[in-house]
Amino acid sequence: MQLKTPVHLYSILIGLLLLAECECTVGRHSSIFKSILSTNDECGRYLNESNGNCSVRCRGLLHRFWDDQRGNLGYYALKQFYQPDPEDKCYLNRTMRCLKQVPVSDESCQRVAQYVRCYKDQYGEENTATARFIPFTPIQQTRILMECAAILGISEDSLREAAKNSGEIPQEACLLRCFLIRQGLYSEAGGFELERFELQCGGYGSGWNPVAIQQCIANVTDCDSCTKVHRMAKTCLQLHFKVLPFPNSNLDNLIPVIVEFYGGLLNFLLTLEPTALQNTFLAGFTLSAQVTI
Protein backbone atom coordinates (compact mmCIF):
# COMPACT_ATOMS: atom_id res chain seq x y z
CA MET A 1 0.00 0.00 0.00
CA GLN A 2 1.47 3.29 -1.10
CA LEU A 3 0.29 6.39 0.67
CA LYS A 4 1.85 9.51 -0.69
CA THR A 5 -0.32 12.57 -0.40
CA PRO A 6 -2.00 14.29 2.52
CA VAL A 7 -5.32 13.58 0.84
CA HIS A 8 -4.75 9.86 1.39
CA LEU A 9 -3.76 10.60 4.91
CA TYR A 10 -6.91 12.44 5.81
CA SER A 11 -9.06 9.85 4.11
CA ILE A 12 -7.39 7.26 6.34
CA LEU A 13 -8.07 9.24 9.47
CA ILE A 14 -11.67 9.90 8.48
CA GLY A 15 -12.00 6.26 7.50
CA LEU A 16 -10.79 5.14 10.90
CA LEU A 17 -13.19 7.43 12.66
CA LEU A 18 -16.14 6.35 10.54
CA LEU A 19 -15.29 2.70 10.94
CA ALA A 20 -15.38 2.98 14.68
CA GLU A 21 -18.95 4.19 14.31
CA CYS A 22 -20.56 2.10 11.61
CA GLU A 23 -19.24 -1.37 11.97
CA CYS A 24 -21.85 -3.16 13.94
CA THR A 25 -21.21 -6.85 13.86
CA VAL A 26 -22.17 -9.82 15.88
CA GLY A 27 -20.22 -13.02 16.14
CA ARG A 28 -16.68 -13.78 17.06
CA HIS A 29 -14.88 -11.76 14.43
CA SER A 30 -15.13 -8.44 12.62
CA SER A 31 -16.24 -9.79 9.23
CA ILE A 32 -19.22 -8.25 7.51
CA PHE A 33 -21.62 -10.00 5.16
CA LYS A 34 -23.91 -8.11 2.82
CA SER A 35 -26.27 -8.89 -0.03
CA ILE A 36 -27.04 -6.83 -3.13
CA LEU A 37 -30.47 -5.99 -1.70
CA SER A 38 -29.04 -4.77 1.58
CA THR A 39 -26.42 -2.54 -0.05
CA ASN A 40 -28.98 -1.17 -2.52
CA ASP A 41 -31.11 -0.25 0.44
CA GLU A 42 -28.13 1.35 2.16
CA CYS A 43 -27.15 3.31 -0.96
CA GLY A 44 -30.73 4.51 -1.35
CA ARG A 45 -30.34 6.26 1.97
CA TYR A 46 -27.25 8.14 0.78
CA LEU A 47 -28.16 8.96 -2.81
CA ASN A 48 -31.11 10.66 -4.41
CA GLU A 49 -31.71 7.83 -6.87
CA SER A 50 -32.48 4.16 -6.83
CA ASN A 51 -31.11 1.68 -9.35
CA GLY A 52 -29.28 4.39 -11.27
CA ASN A 53 -25.65 4.14 -12.30
CA CYS A 54 -24.42 5.87 -9.16
CA SER A 55 -26.29 3.39 -6.96
CA VAL A 56 -24.34 0.65 -8.71
CA ARG A 57 -21.10 2.49 -8.02
CA CYS A 58 -22.16 2.93 -4.39
CA ARG A 59 -22.74 -0.82 -4.15
CA GLY A 60 -19.30 -1.36 -5.68
CA LEU A 61 -17.76 0.74 -2.93
CA LEU A 62 -19.64 -1.07 -0.15
CA HIS A 63 -18.94 -4.53 -1.61
CA ARG A 64 -15.33 -3.49 -2.25
CA PHE A 65 -15.29 -4.36 -5.92
CA TRP A 66 -14.81 -0.74 -6.86
CA ASP A 67 -12.43 1.97 -5.72
CA ASP A 68 -12.21 5.26 -7.64
CA GLN A 69 -8.64 5.93 -6.64
CA ARG A 70 -7.37 2.66 -8.03
CA GLY A 71 -9.88 2.57 -10.87
CA ASN A 72 -9.70 -1.21 -10.85
CA LEU A 73 -12.39 -3.77 -10.65
CA GLY A 74 -12.21 -6.38 -7.85
CA TYR A 75 -13.34 -9.41 -9.82
CA TYR A 76 -13.51 -11.74 -6.86
CA ALA A 77 -15.61 -9.42 -4.76
CA LEU A 78 -18.00 -8.96 -7.71
CA LYS A 79 -18.27 -12.45 -9.12
CA GLN A 80 -19.47 -14.02 -5.88
CA PHE A 81 -22.92 -12.53 -6.56
CA TYR A 82 -23.26 -14.24 -9.94
CA GLN A 83 -23.78 -17.94 -10.55
CA PRO A 84 -22.75 -19.29 -13.97
CA ASP A 85 -24.90 -21.91 -15.66
CA PRO A 86 -23.11 -25.30 -15.36
CA GLU A 87 -23.73 -25.92 -19.08
CA ASP A 88 -22.22 -22.61 -20.10
CA LYS A 89 -18.61 -23.09 -21.19
CA CYS A 90 -18.07 -19.61 -22.56
CA TYR A 91 -19.15 -17.32 -19.75
CA LEU A 92 -15.59 -16.37 -18.77
CA ASN A 93 -14.58 -15.41 -22.26
CA ARG A 94 -17.78 -13.50 -22.86
CA THR A 95 -17.46 -11.63 -19.57
CA MET A 96 -13.86 -10.78 -20.31
CA ARG A 97 -14.67 -9.51 -23.78
CA CYS A 98 -17.48 -7.40 -22.36
CA LEU A 99 -15.29 -5.90 -19.62
CA LYS A 100 -12.62 -4.96 -22.11
CA GLN A 101 -15.13 -3.01 -24.16
CA VAL A 102 -15.99 -0.64 -21.33
CA PRO A 103 -14.33 2.72 -22.10
CA VAL A 104 -12.01 3.61 -19.22
CA SER A 105 -12.66 7.25 -20.05
CA ASP A 106 -16.27 6.97 -18.92
CA GLU A 107 -17.30 8.73 -15.77
CA SER A 108 -17.01 6.50 -12.71
CA CYS A 109 -20.73 5.71 -12.14
CA GLN A 110 -21.24 4.80 -15.79
CA ARG A 111 -18.12 2.69 -15.88
CA VAL A 112 -19.01 0.60 -12.83
CA ALA A 113 -22.57 0.20 -14.05
CA GLN A 114 -21.25 -1.22 -17.33
CA TYR A 115 -18.87 -3.62 -15.55
CA VAL A 116 -21.69 -4.91 -13.40
CA ARG A 117 -23.91 -5.27 -16.46
CA CYS A 118 -21.22 -7.49 -18.03
CA TYR A 119 -21.45 -9.83 -15.05
CA LYS A 120 -25.22 -9.77 -15.06
CA ASP A 121 -25.55 -10.41 -18.80
CA GLN A 122 -22.54 -12.61 -19.50
CA TYR A 123 -21.29 -14.28 -16.32
CA GLY A 124 -24.33 -15.79 -14.67
CA GLU A 125 -27.50 -15.35 -12.69
CA GLU A 126 -27.50 -12.51 -10.22
CA ASN A 127 -28.18 -13.46 -6.61
CA THR A 128 -29.56 -10.42 -4.88
CA ALA A 129 -30.61 -11.97 -1.58
CA THR A 130 -27.61 -13.94 -0.30
CA ALA A 131 -25.22 -12.04 1.94
CA ARG A 132 -21.55 -12.47 1.04
CA PHE A 133 -18.27 -11.80 2.74
CA ILE A 134 -17.06 -8.23 2.30
CA PRO A 135 -13.28 -8.05 1.97
CA PHE A 136 -11.48 -5.72 4.35
CA THR A 137 -9.76 -2.62 3.01
CA PRO A 138 -6.09 -2.02 3.90
CA ILE A 139 -7.25 0.70 6.31
CA GLN A 140 -9.56 -1.67 8.13
CA GLN A 141 -6.80 -4.25 8.27
CA THR A 142 -4.46 -1.74 9.84
CA ARG A 143 -7.06 -1.07 12.50
CA ILE A 144 -7.48 -4.80 13.17
CA LEU A 145 -3.72 -5.19 13.43
CA MET A 146 -3.53 -2.45 16.04
CA GLU A 147 -6.36 -4.00 18.02
CA CYS A 148 -4.59 -7.35 17.98
CA ALA A 149 -1.30 -5.75 19.01
CA ALA A 150 -3.10 -4.12 21.94
CA ILE A 151 -4.77 -7.40 22.92
CA LEU A 152 -1.43 -9.21 22.88
CA GLY A 153 0.38 -6.45 24.73
CA ILE A 154 2.68 -5.59 21.83
CA SER A 155 3.78 -1.99 22.19
CA GLU A 156 3.29 0.53 19.39
CA ASP A 157 6.97 1.44 19.69
CA SER A 158 8.12 -2.09 19.01
CA LEU A 159 5.88 -2.23 15.93
CA ARG A 160 7.21 1.14 14.73
CA GLU A 161 10.72 -0.18 15.21
CA ALA A 162 10.00 -3.37 13.26
CA ALA A 163 8.42 -1.36 10.46
CA LYS A 164 11.30 1.10 10.25
CA ASN A 165 14.03 -1.52 10.14
CA SER A 166 12.07 -4.17 8.25
CA GLY A 167 12.86 -6.21 11.32
CA GLU A 168 11.06 -9.08 12.94
CA ILE A 169 7.54 -8.28 14.14
CA PRO A 170 7.27 -8.91 17.89
CA GLN A 171 5.19 -12.01 18.59
CA GLU A 172 4.63 -12.25 14.85
CA ALA A 173 3.02 -15.70 14.94
CA CYS A 174 0.42 -14.75 17.56
CA LEU A 175 -0.18 -11.37 15.97
CA LEU A 176 -0.86 -12.99 12.60
CA ARG A 177 -3.14 -15.55 14.24
CA CYS A 178 -5.21 -12.85 15.93
CA PHE A 179 -5.23 -10.80 12.72
CA LEU A 180 -6.62 -13.77 10.76
CA ILE A 181 -9.20 -14.73 13.39
CA ARG A 182 -10.54 -11.18 13.65
CA GLN A 183 -10.95 -11.05 9.88
CA GLY A 184 -12.91 -14.31 9.94
CA LEU A 185 -10.25 -15.95 7.78
CA TYR A 186 -9.24 -18.55 10.35
CA SER A 187 -10.70 -20.23 13.41
CA GLU A 188 -9.40 -23.00 15.65
CA ALA A 189 -12.54 -25.04 15.03
CA GLY A 190 -12.95 -24.50 11.30
CA GLY A 191 -9.39 -23.88 10.11
CA PHE A 192 -8.78 -21.56 7.17
CA GLU A 193 -11.73 -20.15 5.27
CA LEU A 194 -10.24 -20.62 1.83
CA GLU A 195 -13.06 -19.02 -0.12
CA ARG A 196 -12.85 -15.87 2.00
CA PHE A 197 -9.10 -15.92 1.60
CA GLU A 198 -9.47 -15.96 -2.11
CA LEU A 199 -11.84 -13.04 -1.90
CA GLN A 200 -9.76 -11.08 0.53
CA CYS A 201 -6.60 -11.59 -1.46
CA GLY A 202 -8.14 -11.09 -4.89
CA GLY A 203 -7.37 -14.57 -6.14
CA TYR A 204 -4.30 -16.70 -6.25
CA GLY A 205 -3.79 -17.00 -9.99
CA SER A 206 -3.47 -20.24 -11.88
CA GLY A 207 -1.18 -21.78 -9.23
CA TRP A 208 -4.09 -22.09 -6.80
CA ASN A 209 -4.58 -25.72 -5.88
CA PRO A 210 -6.95 -26.16 -2.93
CA VAL A 211 -6.34 -29.90 -2.63
CA ALA A 212 -2.59 -29.40 -2.31
CA ILE A 213 -3.21 -26.55 0.14
CA GLN A 214 -5.37 -28.80 2.33
CA GLN A 215 -2.70 -31.51 2.27
CA CYS A 216 -0.03 -29.01 3.15
CA ILE A 217 -2.17 -27.65 6.03
CA ALA A 218 -2.86 -31.16 7.35
CA ASN A 219 0.87 -31.76 7.38
CA VAL A 220 1.65 -28.91 9.79
CA THR A 221 1.74 -30.36 13.28
CA ASP A 222 3.13 -27.73 15.64
CA CYS A 223 1.77 -27.97 19.17
CA ASP A 224 1.74 -24.24 19.73
CA SER A 225 -1.37 -22.69 18.18
CA CYS A 226 0.36 -19.47 17.07
CA THR A 227 3.32 -21.18 15.40
CA LYS A 228 0.98 -23.62 13.71
CA VAL A 229 -1.20 -20.94 12.10
CA HIS A 230 1.85 -18.90 11.15
CA ARG A 231 3.50 -21.86 9.45
CA MET A 232 0.31 -22.88 7.63
CA ALA A 233 -0.18 -19.32 6.41
CA LYS A 234 3.39 -18.86 5.27
CA THR A 235 4.16 -22.25 3.74
CA CYS A 236 0.76 -23.38 2.49
CA LEU A 237 -0.91 -20.10 1.53
CA GLN A 238 2.24 -18.06 0.80
CA LEU A 239 0.84 -15.22 2.83
CA HIS A 240 2.68 -11.94 2.82
CA PHE A 241 2.35 -10.21 6.19
CA LYS A 242 4.43 -7.16 6.94
CA VAL A 243 4.26 -3.88 8.81
CA LEU A 244 5.38 -0.68 7.11
CA PRO A 245 6.08 2.75 8.61
CA PHE A 246 3.22 5.21 8.45
CA PRO A 247 4.29 7.60 5.68
CA ASN A 248 3.84 10.76 7.70
CA SER A 249 5.92 10.70 10.86
CA ASN A 250 4.01 13.69 12.29
CA LEU A 251 0.95 11.51 12.54
CA ASP A 252 2.44 8.20 13.51
CA ASN A 253 1.28 8.65 17.08
CA LEU A 254 -2.22 8.12 15.67
CA ILE A 255 -1.42 5.32 13.25
CA PRO A 256 1.91 3.77 14.27
CA VAL A 257 2.27 1.40 11.31
CA ILE A 258 0.31 0.17 8.32
CA VAL A 259 -0.07 -3.48 7.48
CA GLU A 260 0.68 -5.12 4.17
CA PHE A 261 -1.24 -8.34 3.75
CA TYR A 262 -1.87 -10.41 0.65
CA GLY A 263 -1.67 -13.95 -0.49
CA GLY A 264 0.19 -15.90 -3.09
CA LEU A 265 0.55 -14.54 -6.53
CA LEU A 266 -1.83 -11.67 -6.92
CA ASN A 267 -2.64 -8.54 -5.06
CA PHE A 268 -5.94 -7.38 -3.58
CA LEU A 269 -7.28 -5.56 -6.60
CA LEU A 270 -5.98 -6.51 -10.01
CA THR A 271 -5.30 -4.29 -12.92
CA LEU A 272 -7.40 -4.83 -15.99
CA GLU A 273 -4.50 -6.53 -17.69
CA PRO A 274 -5.61 -9.33 -20.01
CA THR A 275 -3.31 -12.15 -18.91
CA ALA A 276 -3.80 -11.43 -15.22
CA LEU A 277 -7.50 -11.28 -15.87
CA GLN A 278 -7.47 -14.59 -17.69
CA ASN A 279 -5.49 -16.25 -14.88
CA THR A 280 -7.88 -14.92 -12.31
CA PHE A 281 -10.85 -16.24 -14.17
CA LEU A 282 -9.22 -19.62 -14.56
CA ALA A 283 -8.25 -19.74 -10.92
CA GLY A 284 -11.80 -18.81 -9.95
CA PHE A 285 -13.08 -21.56 -12.15
CA THR A 286 -10.73 -24.18 -10.67
CA LEU A 287 -11.60 -23.12 -7.17
CA SER A 288 -15.35 -23.26 -7.52
CA ALA A 289 -15.01 -26.63 -9.21
CA GLN A 290 -12.82 -28.20 -6.53
CA VAL A 291 -13.28 -26.61 -3.17
CA THR A 292 -16.00 -27.74 -0.85
CA ILE A 293 -15.59 -26.32 2.60
Ligand X SMILES: *[C@@H]1O[C@H](CO)[C@@H](O)[C@H](O)[C@H]1NC(C)=O
Binding residues for ligand X (CB under 6 A): 48, 52-53, 89-90, 93, 110, 113-114, 215-216, 219
Least CB distance from residue 20 to ligand X, whole Å? 28
* Closer Cβ to ligand X, 95 or 141, answer by number: 95
Q: Which is closer to ligand X, CB of 17 or CB of 104?
A: 104
Alpha-carbon distance of 62 to 234, in angstroms, equals 30
To ligand X, the closest distance from the beta carbon of 274 in angstroms equals: 9
Indicate the residue type of 224.
D
Q: How far is the CB of 80 from ligand X (least distance, A)?
A: 22
Nearer to ligand X by Cβ, of 137 and 206: the residue is 206
Q: Would you give the distance in Å from CA 284 to the centre of its chain?
A: 15
The H or E element spanning position 140 is: helix 138-152
Smallest gap from residue 88 Cβ to ligand X (A): 9
Among residues 52 and 138, whose Cβ is nearest to ligand X?
A: 52
3-state secondary structure at position 81: coil
* Positive/negative CA dihedral, 75, 241, 29, 139: negative
Closest separation between CB of residue 123 and ligand X, Å? 14
Q: Show the beta-strand stretches assigned E in the chain.
A: 33-34, 66-67, 72-73, 82-83, 125-126, 132-133, 186-187, 191-192, 239-245, 257-263
Residues forming beta bridges with residue 83, ordered by sequence position = 125
Q: Which lies closer to ligand X via its Cβ, residue 113 or residue 178?
A: 113
